[in-house]
Amino acid sequence: MAEPAGEPRLESDMSPDQTSDQTSDQPPAGPGTFRRMDESTAEQWARIGAETMANQGRVADRVLGMLAGLASITDGFAVDQLTHSLQTATRAERAGASDEMVVAALCHDIGKYVSVPNHPRIAAEILRAYVSDEVYQVILTHQDFQGRHYYHHFSMDPEMRESYRAEPWFSLAERFADEWDQTSFDPEYPSESLAHFEPLVRKVFATPNRL
């Protein structure tokens, strides 16, 4: 197993010669590597592709780091955002959801690590290359499905989900929002730990299905 999940490293924690895109055990780009894309060769791209694939594990490392960072965000809820995420994923797992749906449940609010506004899209796009289109759509639209339970407090239409009723993923999105997500603000619920989900996170983020 690679690095344990922990607080993500921040740019300000790094020395000036490091960047967030370069880990300390990676060599710098060697001689023979292009400085302009219009001068690149097939051999150089083959090397870049092989190194990128060899470093794929860093995707799960960073997702786990962002999830751990959700523990610092509460914003008035009864539980912090990591607890909410673990509770949502635990309910999905205990209900027999697929591996990628469980990981998506764990990551559905990961966008809040960066920004609460537009967080469903941030989470959905992080997941998109690793899950089915059905699961991607569930995460992308989850706030509008949640709306049934709270949009009336914002003078918004609680039934915004109805615009998606014809979609093949509609019933999964309802189950996610109504049974797993909106119920998961309970400080007493016995959730699994982030370490419990780490192998599944590494499995799902190991193999992208698109560039």
Specify the residue, 58 or 149, whose C-beta has the smaller distance to Fe ion: 149
Specify the residue, 61 or 119, whose C-beta has the smaller distance to Fe ion: 119
Asked if 64 contacts 194 with a C-beta cutoff of 8 angstroms, the reply is yes
Q: Which of 59, 181, 202, 205 binds Fe ion (CB under 5 A)?
A: 181
How far apart are alpha carbons 200 and 93 in whole angstroms? Answer: 11
Residue 144 interacts with Fe ion (CB under 5 A): yes or no: no
The contact pattern for Fe ion, residues 10-49, with x = CB under 5 A and - = no contact, is ----------------------------------------
Q: Which stretch binds Fe ion (CB under 5 A): 6-14, 36-44, 109-117, 149-157?
A: 109-117
Q: How many other CB atoms are found less than 10 A from the CB of residue 182? A: 17
DSSP string for 139-171: HHTHHHHHGGGTGGGGTS-TTGGGGGTTSTTHH
Specify the residue, 83 or 201, whose C-beta has the smaller distance to Fe ion: 83
* CB 143, min distance to Fe ion, A: 8
Report the b/e string of 127-137 with b at 16+ CB within 10 A.
Answer: bbebbbebbbb
Asked if 8 contacts 68 with a C-beta cutoff of 8 angstroms, the reply is yes
* CB 119, min distance to Fe ion, A: 9
Residue 109 interacts with Fe ion (CB under 5 A): yes or no: yes
In 3D space, the residue among 149, 155, 131, 144 whose CA is nearest the CA of residue 208 turns out to be 131
Specify the residue, 5 or 92, whose C-beta has the smaller distance to Fe ion: 92
Residues lying near Fe ion in the complex (CB under 5 A) are found at: 109, 181
